[in-house]
Every structure is written in C-alpha cells, then in structure tokens.
Amino acid sequence: MPRFDAVLFDLDGVLADTAHIHFAAWRRLGEELGIHLEPTFEEKLKGVDRMGSLELILAHGGVTRTAEEKRVLADRKNGYYTAAVAEQTPDDLLPGARRVLEEARDAGLKIALASASRNAPPLLEQLGIAPLFDAIADPAAVKAPKPAPDLFLEAARLVGVAPDRCLGIEDSVAGIISIKDAGMVAVGIGDPTVLTRADYVVPTTAQLHIGDFL
Ligand code: G6P
Ligand code: MG
C-alpha cells in the first residue's frame, strides 16, 4: 500500500518559474520607497502572502505607512507581477513540473494546490495544468497564512485525505513549516541547509520523482 493518498503542491518556485518574478516586483516597489532589498531577502519573502511580504519590506526599511497606503502599495506590486506573468504559457512551467503532476495522477493520488498566491487560479490555466488538479485551496478562505498549517490542511480537506496521508511539496521555509505543522510529510525543492525542517530535499523539480516517496 502506498504511503500517501494525496500530493499537495505549492505553485511559485515548485511548478511555475515565478518566484523570481514576485521578488523582482517587490524590489521595484522597494526602490520606489527607497528600500533596497538584497538578493538574500528573497528567501524571507518566499511563501509569505502579499500583505505579509509588504510588512516585512516596510519593517526592513524602517518605513511606516497607513493601512490604506499599504493596500495601495500591495496593489501596485501586484500590478507589476501580473503584467510580468501575463504572457506565461506552458513553456514557462519549471522543468519536470508537468511530468511530476502526471506521475502523481498515474499513481492514483489526489492532487491539490496549496499556494498563498491569489493569482494562482489564472496562472494554472495559463500554464495548461489546471485540469490536473482535483482541488485548489483558497488562501482567502483560511484564517492564518503560511507558515501556519491552515492552507495545507484546507487542501487536504478539499480532497478528503487525512493529513498523515499527504505529501506536501514546497520551495519556501514558510511553506515547509506549514506542511510539517499540518502533520504531513514535506519535500523541499531547493537547498537542504535552508529547508531544514523538510523530510526530504531535492535541488529542483526536475529531480523530483513521486515514485521515490511511495
Ligand atoms: C506565493 C509566493 C509569494 C507571494 C504569495 C502571494 O506564496 O511565494 O512570494 O507573496 O504567493 O502571492 P500573490 O500573487 O497573492 O500576491
Ligand atoms: Mg513557493
């Protein structure tokens, strides 16, 4: 009997080559506010939702803004991001992404998305992988964002699978913490010295093979 009944995927940096596009949009906004973001800041923003990211950036720059100003700034960043991803096609999937989804489907596993991104549903369509998903967890429908476990628990609930029968795949520190605190097995995509709480780490999606975990 396989160890899992579902695979829960993050999107940005796992299936879509968009993590650096989010960061480029934040850097642009940061420069406009006089806040320079070092390349190392990208790791801190991965998996963190839009307003949470803005808060980290403002705190980093020692800049204070009202709630209304923050809403406008977050919208501006989202405009930069959506303009940059507007032309994405299936060619922009990360190498191995479609194969990994097909491996999960062929193994009879449920497939759900657990992405913090409000832009995830249209991006899945653009990338041509939406039909491979059984469910998409809505980040607006859960109480606490990553690193809280809520979004991964919601994804598991949507496909009707107990957390301990779920494999979660993530490229962010925040996301790996969510998966582990949800009581699931975590596969990190990236650097094992960064994704220290992951149960397994592979360098890129191209090296991820679902069969290795069944
Ligand atoms: C993902 C990305 C984050 C991004 C978040 C919200 O988790 O890793 O960098 O901030 O989604 O994305 P959104 O598209 O809703 O602004
Ligand atoms: Mg990610």
Please tell me which residue in 5, 12, 17, 49 is annotated as part of the active site.
12
pLDDT in tens, 113-154: 999 999 999 999 999 999 999 999 999 999 999 999 999 999
Q: What is the mean pLDDT of residues 96-116?
A: 98
What integer pLDDT is reported at residue 1 of this predicted model? 66
- Residue 48 Cβ inside 6 Å of ligand 1? The answer reads yes
pLDDT in tens, 56-65: 999 999 999 9
pLDDT in tens, 39-89: 999 999 999 999 999 999 999 999 999 999 999 999 999 999 999 999 999
Give the span between the Cα atoms of 116 and 175, in whole angstroms.
9
Say whether pTM exceeds 0.75: yes
Torsion of CA 80, 127, 9, 203, to 10 degrees: -80
Counting ligands in written order, which one lies closest to the CA of residue 47? 1
| Ligand 1 atom with least separation from CA of 77 | 16
